[in-house]
Structure 1
């Protein structure tokens, strides 16, 4: 006699169940060598890493962060970009002291420049804290997203962590391994192989891009976003550039207009800001309705409770 089961009992074992069974079965010696094909396809790393499986790996890299964020009900993000090399004020001051003690004028000059740039770390940290603190009182929470590494990325995750909120880190495998900073929410700490898919995830839920001084990687991410907005491939969203002096020395936007390389008005795709408070105030103006307080937190809502 068959044991009576519920009508909706699964007809077939799950892939997880099959993988667990396989893990506890010792195959015949003949089929246990490296040349054997006796493995489930989805547990066979050698198979999954074949050149021909690149499209499948790209799908997986798109799908994994998407499913996790859907499950955690993450719908809106603020992306913080910037250099991995910018130090916190504390670390930069320590480097200056060390260079002075060593009597190395070249090291001292580099350390002093790093100290002057450390203000951006502190602004990114404070901005992320402002976003996260405000989000706890809003109808649709905003989550800080960074590239998951050190420098400005660390500052963004750190600010959210200090505010008691969750934040996302989209790390990528580099020749010199990039370790995730210690402030990312563990269940939202992802790792990518493909730069393109990582950049896609930066933008899929973003309501704003906040860009601090940085190098090639930062410029790549900034210009890709501006290109997508300029060409209408994605909706408009605020792009905030921290530090007018840095960005106008780095990029001659006026020359691009004068030579017809961009159209007049394209320079309005972004705004310069100097402080965390100024950046957050601009976002609030841009999204006056979307970033509105939760109805229960408004004066009218409090009266009704």
Structure 2
């Protein structure tokens, strides 16, 4: 017979875990079999009720917060970017597959379009390598600083995988903040397992991206990257978070996607808002911006 856990001598009360482990719900009576008899925190159906959303929001905020505190993580560099940009080898294979499909059905316009898309993805695959280099560089160079600095990503494939992979290349920790999506998005294999989190609420996930951030680097990406980028810029602009470097990686891409100068010309943002954004073309350049800001203490100033 399994031995029941002992109550710690420094506590006069059993823990919630001990009570949940020791309790018997079925005494053979209607009362004990009723769902109402279950401990509230041990009742999954109760915890999933719509009315319990505020409690779930709090739990989703607390779990990563407490875990990162246990690992003494106080400073992070957030790396955003497309899940659709793979490494060069994968991109080359995808292009080859698309070209082979066209050879078999040369008149299929949809297949020809897939070749064009694969060519564009291959052209952008160098961003995967730069994100990997940046994850590695941050992890290595941060060891020279007094405070641990950890790479954090959205935990998925593509650019996110590359940044986590770079940290893993040098045996460093990195964080993945994954989210439940209609399509499967499993965590990439390079995240430190004990720092791999999953979220239901986008809002809480985005809070965790920024709570410890000393910089944000946005590689080319789509809706998700743009959402996270503009939320960060809005929070800095409105002074809801402290000012940190916001670095757009690959100016040619970003100048095509976002016309910040037009926003200034239209009076939609001010010139000082425009200056919240900086650009980098290499991992070394991005790290130099981050390090300069961090070592000068600018990341601790409210703006």
Is TM-score (shorter-chain normalized) higher than 0.5? yes
Partners of 2:158 and 2:164 in 1: CA distance: 10
Any idea what the Cα deviations from partners look like across 1:22-41, whole Å, max 9, x if unmatched? 2x6643253565x5322111
1:100 and 2:107 aligned: no
Any idea what the Cα deviations from partners look like across 1:258-295, whole Å, max 9, x if unmatched? 1100012211101011111111112222223469xxxx
TM alignment of 1:1-305, pairs within 5 A: 9-22=10-23, 26-28=26-28, 30-31=30-31, 36-102=35-101, 103=103, 104-289=111-296
Any idea what the Cα deviations from partners look like across 1:217-245, whole Å, max 9, x if unmatched? 11111011111111111111000000111
Contact map agreement 2:77 2:150 (CA 8 A) in 1: yes
Any idea what the Cα deviations from partners look like across 1:132-188, whole Å, max 9, x if unmatched? 011222211210000001111111111111111000000111111211011111110
Any idea what the Cα deviations from partners look like across 1:86-131, whole Å, max 9, x if unmatched? 1111110111222223325333222111100111111111100000
Structure 1: which 4+ aligned runs deviate by more than 4 Å? none
Contact map agreement 2:25 2:32 (CA 8 A) in 1: no
Shift of 1:8: 6.1
Any idea what the Cα deviations from partners look like across 1:5-24, whole Å, max 9, x if unmatched? xx9632111101001112x6
Partners of 1:207 and 1:177 in 2: CA distance: 30
Contact map agreement 2:77 2:149 (CA 8 A) in 1: yes
CA RMSD of aligned residues (A): 1.9
* Deviating more after overlay: 97-106 vs 234-243: 97-106
Partners of 2:67 and 2:168 in 1: CA distance: 19
Any idea what the Cα deviations from partners look like across 1:27-63, whole Å, max 9, x if unmatched? 3253565x53221110101000111111100000000
Partners of 1:99 and 1:8 in 2: CA distance: 66
Partners of 1:198 and 1:15 in 2: CA distance: 27
Question: 1:284 is paired with a residue of what secondary structure?
Answer: helix
For structure 2, the residue ranges without an aligned partner over 5 or more in a row are 1-7, 104-110, 299-303
Question: 1:99 is paired with a residue of what secondary structure?
Answer: helix
Partners of 1:189 and 1:80 in 2: CA distance: 15
* Deviating more after overlay: 121-130 vs 8-17: 8-17
TM-score w.r.t. length of structure 2 = 0.89
Aligned to 2:108: none
Contact map agreement 2:25 2:37 (CA 8 A) in 1: no
Aligned to 1:303: none
Question: 1:145 is paired with a residue of what secondary structure?
Answer: strand
TM-score w.r.t. length of structure 1 = 0.89
Contact map agreement 2:25 2:38 (CA 8 A) in 1: no
Partners of 2:112 and 2:50 in 1: CA distance: 50
